[in-house]
Amino acid sequence: MSRGFRLFYPALPVLAEHAPHRAVYVGDVDGRCEILAWDRRAGRARQITDRPTGTIRAALDPGGNTVWWFDDDLAGVGTWRICDFDRPDRSVAALPTVDPARHGGIAMAADGGAMVGLSGDDGLVLRMRTADGQVTERARVAGYAYLVDLDPAGRLVAVGADASAATAVTVLTVDGARVAEIAGRPDRRVWALGFAPGGGPARLLLVVEDRGGYLPATWTERGGLVRHDWCRFDTEITAGWFPDGRRILVRQDRHARSLLHEVDLDGQTRTMVDTPPGSILDAAVWPDGDVAYIWSDSVTPPQLRSVRGVELPYGPTGPDAPGAPDESVTTDCHRDEIWVPGPGGPVHALVATPTDRERPRPAVFLVHGGPFQHARDAYDPLVEILVSTGCTVVRVNYRGSSGYGSAWRNDFGAGVGLTQLEDLAAVRAHLIAQGAIEDRRTALWGTSWGGYLTLLALGRQPELWRLGVAISPVADYVAAFEAAAPAVRELDVLLFGGTPEQVPERYARASPITYVEQVRAPVLLAVSTGDVRCPPAPVEAYARLLAARRIPHQVVRRQAGHEDFDAHSHLALMQTVLLFMQRHFDGVREEGTPVALAMARPAG
């Protein structure tokens, strides 16, 4: 990777379909994510956006002439702007008569126009901006939905929704007429991924969950849905097309790592793509045929790689730009993985242990977000920071985590949150029995869903945990449901089997505020003012209940959205959390803590 602009957000650069030497990507600009225009022939990148809170969404027209970027606020509400690839300093509103809304997808037409999805409380609105700048509304889709793709001929649009719903995927004409609906079920979910490039009848790629596994499928207007049952995977996959419209690149998440497969749908062949062990955070076949991917492992921050050896460009000041971080700094520790017997089956966990400490050690369980994400064999600066303080760091892929098959991913048998606590407790008990960690010095640290599980565990299992750090958590599920964005409410309905009005007892049983009277451990709470996924007001109410009981706690308030893409803000938060741990969690040392490593990528 270059020492100029580096990756900040784990997503691939977007290349212009008909001018693949032109690209846009999210890069690191002074510790903040911004959109950069990259001329691959010249080997140089130019900064497109410059916003205090950063920018993470961009698109490029097929000819490589026009850059689109989303100008949103902390709550994710904003408008699309456009500028010339060669004149990034002059941007104008792409949809000048359209009110700000949340991003709901964007797809480029071959002639330089674009279909844009914008979502609000009433659903998704699709608008078309033609190459000459005319903007018209084309369709409205009620409820939670998002734009997937526009077919190469510019005639059909694919819209995705809840993958288990009867309208998991809807195909429309560009004028809004319904062409087809592809149904999902709770045990047979369906995801649309995109139309095949090139000419001929439109062919839509999908992933279908079936009998515990996952397989690719295709849809055409004449033939309907065709499942490729010969190509079954035992864990979660996503995929994208090769330029020939015949092969697909499949990315499989499996047991905290990733695999790439080249699949010929017509020839019925499947071949592994040679990639190093670790995690692939994004992958695609570029228009020039190069297979590109974002790769990381436990000691390497995310970096762009490709079969042809592509590298990111230098910034405007060249390879010796000042202030570029040293991405090779890691803490000396022992990394291992374990499988622990649990109530729902073997539980996989990643464990990092200081090499200079006698056993047993204090432990911090880093609880991943989600609920359907997973702890990866990927670089996490929090692991480096916490190991340097003398703690063992444990990352558990409890039930609900992806990468272990649909049965594991869909198992919430003991209740939302409560199922996951069973697995966390099982791994904790195993490590204590092995003499690896101390019984009286185990802590929890989580962000978003991980922060929610942290608060739930402190109240449901107060005898197990001695400290909690909850960043952007859910503290009261009912209150959070009422204040959250539509996409979040859709997820809650899926998890709980209904709304708080329909199944109030399930929400109450899974809500941390129900158990706040049982909390004994010190708690640090971090909230963001613009968070519409995990709203701050319920967390503030939870903190007041802790204060009434004189439980040691601290509330950190940040001017940010749910995801904070400012590395300086993360650095400040990490410093605050470490000071809190030093005061309230015996055994955490201060000296040698490489807090600057928090600059390596956004947390969460």
User: What's the full length of the chain, in residues?
Assistant: 604
CB 53 within 8 A of CB 566: yes
Query: What pLDDT shows up at residue 604?
Result: 31
Q: pLDDT per residue over 170-219, tens digit each?
A: 999 999 999 999 999 988 999 999 999 988 899 999 999 998 899 999 99
* SS3 category, 454: helix
Q: How many other β-carbons are positioned within 10 Å of the β-carbon of residue 277?
A: 11
Q: What is the pTM of this model?
A: 0.92
Q: How far apart are CA 141 and CA 490, in angstroms?
A: 14
Query: What pLDDT shows up at residue 328?
Result: 43
Domains of the chain: residue spans and CATH: 333-600 (3.40.50.1820)
Phi-psi region of 438 (alpha: psi -120 to 50; beta: other; left: phi over 0): beta
Q: How far apart are CA 473 and CA 190, in angstroms?
A: 29
Query: What pLDDT shows up at residue 330?
Result: 57
Query: What pLDDT shows up at residue 329?
Result: 47
Amino acid making up residue 229: D
Angle, alpha carbons 565-148-482 (nearest 5°) = 60
Query: What pLDDT shows up at residue 346?
Result: 98
104: tokens are: 């709901």
397: tokens are: 């892929």
Q: Which alpha helices (H) appear in 365-433, and where do they start and end?
A: 381-388, 406-409, 418-433
Q: How many other β-carbons are positioned within 10 Å of the β-carbon of residue 585?
A: 22
Query: What pLDDT shows up at residue 602?
Result: 36
Amino acid making up residue 527: V
Query: What pLDDT shows up at residue 587?
Result: 60
350: tokens are: 């990643």
Q: Contacts by 41-45 with C-beta closer than 8 Å and gap 24+?
A: 42/313, 43/313, 43/314, 44/313, 44/314, 44/316, 45/4, 45/5, 45/312, 45/313, 45/314, 45/315, 45/316
Q: pLDDT per residue over 285-336, tens digit each?
A: 999 999 999 999 999 989 999 999 988 775 443 333 323 334 444 567 899 9
Residues of the chain with pLDDT under 50: 1-4, 315-329, 591-604
CA atoms within 13 A on the CB side of 552: 11
Q: How far apart are CA 493 and CA 119, in angstroms?
A: 18
Query: What pLDDT shows up at residue 7?
Result: 59
- What is the chain's alpha carbon radius of gyration, rounded to the nearest angstrom? 24
CB 161 within 8 A of CB 174: no
Amino acid making up residue 275: T
Q: How many other β-carbons are positioned within 10 Å of the β-carbon of residue 555?
A: 17
CB 243 within 8 A of CB 236: no
Query: What pLDDT shows up at residue 314?
Result: 55
DSSP output for 272-292: EE---SSEEEEEEE-TTS-EE
